Structure formats: C-alpha cells, structure tokens
Structure 1
Amino acid sequence: MTAALKHSLADLEAPASLLSDQPQTRTRIAVAYGDGIGPEIMAATLSILDLAGADLGYDTIEIGEKVYERGVSAGIEPESWDTLRANKVFLKAPITTPQGGGFKSLNVTTRKTLGLYANVRPCVAYTPFVASKHPGMDVVIVRENEEDTYGGIEHRQTSEVTQCLKLISRPGCEKIVRYAFEYARSTGRKRVSCFTKDNIMKATDGLFHQVFDEIAPEYPEIEHDHWIIDIGAAMLADQPERFDVIVTPNLYGDIISDIAAQIAGSVGLCGTSNIGEDCAMFEAIHGSAPDIAGQDVANPSGLILAAVQMLVHLGKPDVAERIHNALLATIEDGIHTPDLYDPDVSQLKVGTAEFADAVIDRLDLKPRQLKAVQYHTAPEPAEVKVLSRKVPPSKPFKQLVGVDVFLDWDEPRRDPQRLAARLKYVSQSSGLELQMITNRGVKVWPSGFPETFCTDHWRCRFVPRQAHEKFEQDVSTTPKQLILLLTHLDNHGLDVIKTENLYTFDGKPGYSLGQGQ
C-alpha cells in the first residue's frame, strides 16, 4: 500500500473517535472527505501532512451527497456544526450539491454561518512545467465572502420577473478591505487593487469603493488603485503582471478568482482559504468531478496547497514551506497527473496516490527553477478592525421622503400613460404624488419612449405632494401616508408586490434615480 493511501477509504466510515488515535496534545482539525474525487485527494493530502510532521489530529465529519440524500437540505448534520466550531479549522474536500430547488450550497452556508468573511486565493504560474500564457503571474484574489448577491435572497414577483437582492454593508466592506491590506503588508506585497462596478451600482458598489479609499491611506507603503470590474477583469486576463493583490465584492471575486486560476495554469492547482475571526476553512477550488471518481487519476495539488495555507494559519510555517517546496519540486521534475501531462515537458504520468508519494519523497528538497517559497509569519492577521462596530460613528439624520411601490400590472397594452393616470387618481387623497414610473429600472413615465420594452413589473415612485410641486428632495412624509396610499391602491384592485421606503441621510438621497431620470 502506498503512503498516500494510509488514510484508506475504509476509514471514511469510521467514527471520529476511532480515527483520532493521535495524542490529544496535537492540533486538532475537522476533516471532510467529500464526494466524487474528494476521498482520494483527501487521503493523499493527509498522508503528506502526516509524513511532513504537521502533527495534526483529525475529527472527521460527513457532508455532501450522502447527507443530502438523507433529506438534510443543508448538506450537513446539525451535530457536525459542533465539531467545526470546536476545532475552528476545517479542511474540506469537494462535495456535490444536488441541482434544483430546495438545496443550498454548503460552501456558501459554511462561509456565512461561521463568519468566514475573507476568501483568499493565490494564483501562480508554474511555467514552463505547466502551460500558461503568463509565465510571471503571481496574483492573490481577496474576495468578500458573506454579502452581495450571495445572500441568496431572491423572489419571484410577477409571472415574468424575479429579483435578487444585493446587500453590501459598511462593516462587511471594512473587514475585507482591511484584511486585503493586512495580507499585503504581512506577505510583502506592494499593491492592492479594488474591483467594483460603481459606475452603475453607485450605492452598493459605491460603498465598497468608498471604504477602500478611506482605508488605503492607513497603509502608505502599499500602492492602491481602483478598476471598474469589466476592464479590470479584461486586464487581469491579458496582463496579470499589473496586479498583486485584488480585493473585490463576492460575486466578482467568485468569477475572477476562477479566471485567474485558469490563466495561471489550471484550476486544479489552486487551493483557497476562507478566514473568519474565529474559524477558518481550507479547500481546493475545483468540484467533485464524479466522472473520474475512484480511478486514481485526480490531481490532489489544489487540496495540498489549501492544506499549506492551513498550516500557515495554524502557525506551522516550517511544515507549510516543506510541503509547498516539495510539491514544486515534484512538478518541476515532470511528475504530473493526467490533467497536466504534456509529452513535451512531462517525464512521468502518475495517479493521485503516486503523485502524493512523489511529493513525500521530495519533502527535503526545493525546486531548482521555480521560485522556492518561504513562510515566516502567517499572512492572516489575528484581528481585523471594524471601525463602525468598535467605535460607533455618529448616525446621520435619516428622513423618510417617499416610497417606491412595485406593482404586478399586466394590462394588455402595458401603456405607462394609462397606469400613471390611474395611479394619480387613486393616490390623490393620500398626500403623496406620483413622481415617476420605471420598468426594469428604465423611466417610462413621464416622458418615456414607446421603444422601451416593458414587462409586467412596475416601480412607481411616490413623494409628498409639496416635494413634487417644488422639486425638493427633503420634504418628509409619514408612515401613515404610506399606509393610506397602500390602502387606496388595494381598494382599487392594484396588485402591490413590494415597497421600498425612500430615505435621505444628512440630506443626501439613499436611493437611486431611475435610468433616464
């Protein structure tokens, strides 16, 4: 039996107490073998950790496909949370999430439940041993992990329209932006770049950019810049040497981190860490690949490199350095799994277990051509300050100045002029005046264009009559007026599907204008 199969598949069914025969003084971590290729690459990774002297104890939990099949829609049993919270460090193999309604991504659930706000993904090219168009690429993506559209708050509102809420908070922005600068400082990196789309999403992405600009001056030794996500992503794909550390909201980070991993060489070579104030999770970035499961052909490098990040986080930089350099030496010697095998550069095609054995054989070696790694201090800061929580700022003056009422209105002609006339009649005794109607964000009344395509989903903005007449934005309305308006709309058979109150903060609108307004 090879060393890489020391953690045999038979062990996967044993309870954690039977697997944990190591002395209790060892650092204990939670481990999940996952689905598909997960058990094979986890067995390989744990064998390397053991023989490199990581001195870890393992508490195994079951997650993923088998748990889903038992009817647990979260993919994890309630008692497994106790293991994760007790160990605080989680090494996780890929899992399979069932497609279709009713099942939530366990990755997202774990990150948010345990407060793992920072996703950190180093993307490094290993040319000429692994093909890449960017031989010098060495970029770290720091992705916000808890907010944005990944709140998963979605609603179907009409027969034609669904919505997804994008939530961005100041504390969330402060944590991830400060983390990115702390990471850059502690790892000797020179620049932090912020990617947003605040030319369009001025409130949400605008807040992220604003916080970035506020925090950057606290790190004068680190250069900083901001890119709109579309041109930033294009430049990352074409000229990654322009970037060092990139910090970005959740959705953009999810996309560009896979792009960065692939253009560096392969998503199979990337590990990732998910860091919180109390807990951390480490995983490969690829999926469970059920089509090659059990064939001993999967590349374990991504999970091995995730384990390297875990060791640094645990304060074991010497072991992390030993394993990482051994992995680089193995790749440099042309010992490659089938996904990386190239007859022009590879010397030997090996399977999962044999690749792990090759890494173990090189634990005292360093690469000759690839850059050897050195880990002296953990890149994860012990604490990331959140100013808005630790030192509560003075709250801005908040004033209710109107309401957006969303209607499901499917009159055959879908004529906004007809809808406006009806709304003006219905609302005349409420003290509120119709100011604007939009359809999918585009102003269609007043002064809309017949070319604008309209669905059955209408945003109707009402403001106090005196504000409408004087073109003022800071005239207050009252909750009673809003209730009266909604009562009138209901009495006249208008289908209200949602409302959003409009506020100003210190006189500045806390809501967007309609496109074309």
Structure 2
Amino acid sequence: MSETKRIRLAVIPGDGIGTEVVEAGLRIINHLAEASNGKFEFESDFFPWGCEYYLEHGKMMEEGGVERLRGYDAIYFGAVGFPGVPDHVSLWGLRLAICQGFDQWANIRPIEFLPGVPRRLNHPDVDSLNWVLIRENSEGEYSGIGGRNFSGRGLGKEVAVQSALFTEHGCERIIRYAFDLARTRKRKKVTSITKSNAQQYGMVLWDEVFSRVSKDYPDVETDQWLVDAAAAQFVLKPEELEVVVASNLFADILSDLGSALAGSLGLAASANINPEGNTPSMFESVHGSAPDIAGQGISNPIGAIGSAALMLDHLGLNEEAELINKAIAETTRQGILTRDLGGTYNTDEITDSIIENLSKVKAEI
C-alpha cells in the first residue's frame, strides 16, 4: 500500500455563518479521507481570527499571522465581517492581507446551474449554462493605493483618492491563466471585460495585453465586452459565456450576478490561487458572513462545500473533487434545498444528504 498523503490545512472559520459552512465542508472532506483506505488524510489547525478577535485584540489576526500560514498545503476560509467592525477593517485585516501576502493572484469563481434549483433566469436551455469567472486578484481596483487628506480644512472639505493599479505583468499573467483554462474546456472561448472607453489608461493597457496574448492561442475564440454591456449579456445571452476574465472589481461584481442568476450566492464557490505554488492557496465560498442568520443553522453550505472541492482538485485529488460536485448536484436534483433556494432543509441536513450521495454517485462512476 502506498504511503498516506498527509494534507495540512489552515482553517479560518471567521465570522457569522463562516463557522457553520466551514464545519460542513470539513465534514465532507474528512468523510472522503476516512473512506480513502489510507490514500490521504487531513491535519487541520484552526485559527480564531476574525471580528471577535479584532474586538478583543485590536487586529484581525495575530502579529505575523500570514507567515504562520505559509507552511500549510492550503487555507480553508469561512467568511469575514460582523456588526461592530467596519467592513474595510475586517476585509483588509484578514482576507485581503492573506491574498496579497501570498500573491494569490488568480481568483476562480465557477457559475453552475444546478438541477432542482428554482430558476432565476428565463432561458430556454438553463441546464446547459456553465461558465467560470477568472478574477485578477492582486491589483486593479483593490490595490489599496490612495489616501484621505485635508480633513483639517473643516467639515465637508476632506478629499479621498482611491487609485487602481494595472501592471502589464499583472494583466498578462491573469489573461494567460484564462486562456490556458479555456484550452481544457469543451468550448474554447475567453471573454475579456473592461471599461476601457471611460478608463483610458489601465484598462486600455488590459485590452492591449489581451489582444497580444490572444495571438498565442489561435485555437481559442475571443470576445470583449464593456462591463455595463457585460452585465446585460449575463442576463440576455449567457450562452455566450465560457471563460470570463476581468479585473478585481468587475469580476467580483459579475460573479455575484452570475451566482444570483444560478439561484443564490449560497451556491457560489471560489479559489484564491497562487499558480506558482510557492505559497498556499485559499478556498472560500463567495457569500459573506450573513450575521442576520448566523447561529440559526439554516445557512447554505453548498458554496463552502464546492470550495472544498476546488481545494481537493488543486491538491491533486481530482476524483474526490468530482465526487463532491456530483453529490451536490444529486442532492439538489432530489429537491433537498436550503431556505435561500426555497427549501426547508437546514445546514446539517443538506450536508448529511451530500455525504449520503457521495456513495451513490461513486457507484455510478
């Protein structure tokens, strides 16, 4: 028997429903590990960082927290944000600190229309829709460059400057990542989204890099939309989408739109990838901490469980990742849905059903 693959996970449940959905995801992957006959196992260390930590210590994570995470194989993240802590403090103090600290420059956000989920989109062939957003995750509009000045001039006279940073290097690597991913899909197409008619510097640079890089991929179809038109196209012509690449802000917004069209933000998985592999990547559901339902046990764990599937795929456990995704689809096909999807099942019941369906779909493969 081959040696057991030991995977070290840094688990940061964070705030609100983050703790609930992370627990669900861990149940799924630990179940798979136990059933793997020693193929792999997880060693999970938990970090209590988040808004409660901030209220006690004045910071979102301990000093040197990012470096503490460096030795792990992957980071499994819940959600961040809770009343009493400004959102920009919680986001920059934890999630973005990790993403930028580890140069996790590729954010992957699949959009999949699961069977059995009530339709939010009037489309003749919804079941065929399946696309993925590739989000530039290290610079762009979320670079954190800027400042506030002139408050001394008196009330109403302060000035705030927020700058977006676009580098040729940053644009090229995320665009190439999108093209490389497109080559692995049945339909080989990349759509680039900018607002270069109004943002004449950074996004014109993006457009020029996209045009240059596309010449290296003659087998991949290309398309380019302005972001306002793209938002309309997501609703009117989603069949035109396959791999969509966009800047930090635009892909952030459009991925939420795509998830809403698919049924709920609770379904949306994501991965923050360092493609070079010299730092750990981080996996999290797209939804926030949802403090209004935290502690009630009714949160939708599918996004977090789908994120765990992305994590397993990244770690080379491709068959196990496929099993999770098939089990999720079988669960929703059976009408086992949480409240955000019009169902009555709670977090634990959905997770139990996905675990039960893991065996079913494995027997069918």
| TM-score of Structure 1 vs Structure 2, range by shorter chain | 0.7 to 0.9
Q: Look up the SS of the partner of 1:339 in the other structure.
A: helix
Q: Which residue of 2 aligns with 1:51?
A: 31
- Ranges of 4+ aligned residues in structure 1 off by more than 4 Å: 100-104
Equivalents in 1 of 2:236, 2:167: separation in Å? 32
Q: Which residue of 1 aligns with 2:297?
A: 296
Q: Which residue of 2 aligns with 1:71?
A: 57
Q: Look up the SS of the partner of 1:70 in the other structure.
A: helix
Question: Does the 8 Å CA contact 1:30/1:83 hold for their aligned counterparts?
Answer: no
Deviations 1:330-381 (A, max 9, x none): 1111111122135xxxxxx3211111111111112239xxxx9x9xxxxxxx
Q: Which residue of 1 aligns with 2:181?
A: 183
Question: Does the 8 Å CA contact 2:141/2:163 hold for their aligned counterparts?
Answer: yes
Equivalents in 2 of 1:207, 1:193: separation in Å? 16
Equivalents in 2 of 1:268, 1:300: separation in Å? 7
Cα pair distance change 1:243/1:334, threshold 3 Å: same
Structure 1 regions of 5+ residues with no counterpart?
A: 1-22, 343-348, 375-517
Q: Look up the SS of the partner of 2:134 in the other structure.
A: strand
Equivalents in 1 of 2:63, 2:10: separation in Å? 15
Q: Which residue of 1 aligns with 2:361?
A: 366
Q: Which residue of 1 aligns with 2:107?
A: 119
User: What's the CA shift for 1:199?
Assistant: 1.2
Equivalents in 2 of 1:198, 1:156: separation in Å? 26
Q: Which amino acid aligns with 2:62?
A: E
Q: Does 1:26 align with 2:24?
A: no
Q: Which moved more, 1:329-338 or 1:186-195?
A: 186-195
Q: Does 1:99 align with 2:89?
A: no
Question: Does the 8 Å CA contact 2:171/2:209 hold for their aligned counterparts?
Answer: yes
Equivalents in 2 of 1:267, 1:100: separation in Å? 19
Cα pair distance change 1:269/1:100, threshold 3 Å: closer
Structure 2 regions of 5+ residues with no counterpart?
A: 34-39, 151-156
Q: Look up the SS of the partner of 1:289 in the other structure.
A: coil
- Give aligned pairs, total: 340
Question: Does the 8 Å CA contact 1:282/1:307 hold for their aligned counterparts?
Answer: yes
Equivalents in 1 of 2:185, 2:47: separation in Å? 33
Q: Does 1:335 align with 2:311?
A: no
Q: Please tell me the root mean square deviation across aligned C-alpha atoms, in Å.
A: 2.1
Deviations 1:363-417 (A, max 9, x none): 12239xxxx9x9xxxxxxxxxxxxxxxxxxxxxxxxxxxxxxxxxxxxxxxxxxx
TM-score by length of 2: 0.87
Equivalents in 1 of 2:43, 2:212: separation in Å? 42
Equivalents in 1 of 2:345, 2:89: separation in Å? 40
User: What's the CA shift for 1:185?
Assistant: 1.4
- Asked which structure has the greater RCO (Cα within 8 Å, sep 6+), the reply is 2
Cα pair distance change 1:128/1:329, threshold 3 Å: closer
Equivalents in 1 of 2:4, 2:52: separation in Å? 30
Pick from 8, 20, 23 the counterpart of residue 40 of structure 1.
20
Cα pair distance change 1:103/1:303, threshold 3 Å: closer
Pick from 351, 354, 357 the counterpart of residue 356 of structure 1.
351
Show the 5 A alignment for 1:207-226: 207-226=205-224
Question: Does the 8 Å CA contact 1:189/1:245 hold for their aligned counterparts?
Answer: no
Q: Which residue of 2 aligns with 1:20?
A: none
Q: Which amino acid aligns with 2:353?
A: A
Q: Which moved more, 1:227-236 or 1:103-112?
A: 103-112
Equivalents in 2 of 1:164, 1:82: separation in Å? 28
User: What's the CA shift for 1:127?
Assistant: 4.4
Equivalents in 2 of 1:139, 1:219: separation in Å? 19
Deviations 1:145-187 (A, max 9, x none): 1112211223234515422111100110011001111111134
Identity percentage of aligned residues? 35
Q: Look up the SS of the partner of 2:327 in the other structure.
A: helix
Q: Which moved more, 1:211-220 or 1:124-133?
A: 124-133
Cα pair distance change 1:55/1:262, threshold 3 Å: same
Question: Does the 8 Å CA contact 1:119/1:274 hold for their aligned counterparts?
Answer: yes
Q: Which residue of 2 aligns with 1:89?
A: 74
Show the 5 A alignment for 1:272-291: 272-276=270-274, 277=276, 278=278, 279-291=280-292
User: What's the CA shift for 1:319?
Assistant: 0.8
User: What's the CA shift for 1:132?
Assistant: 2.8
Equivalents in 2 of 1:101, 1:246: separation in Å? 27
Question: Does the 8 Å CA contact 2:268/2:303 hold for their aligned counterparts?
Answer: yes
User: What's the CA shift for 1:294?
Assistant: 1.8
Equivalents in 2 of 1:305, 1:350: separation in Å? 18
Show the 5 A alignment for 1:340-419: 340-342=341-343, 349-366=344-361
User: What's the CA shift for 1:237?
Assistant: 2.4
Equivalents in 2 of 1:165, 1:129: separation in Å? 40
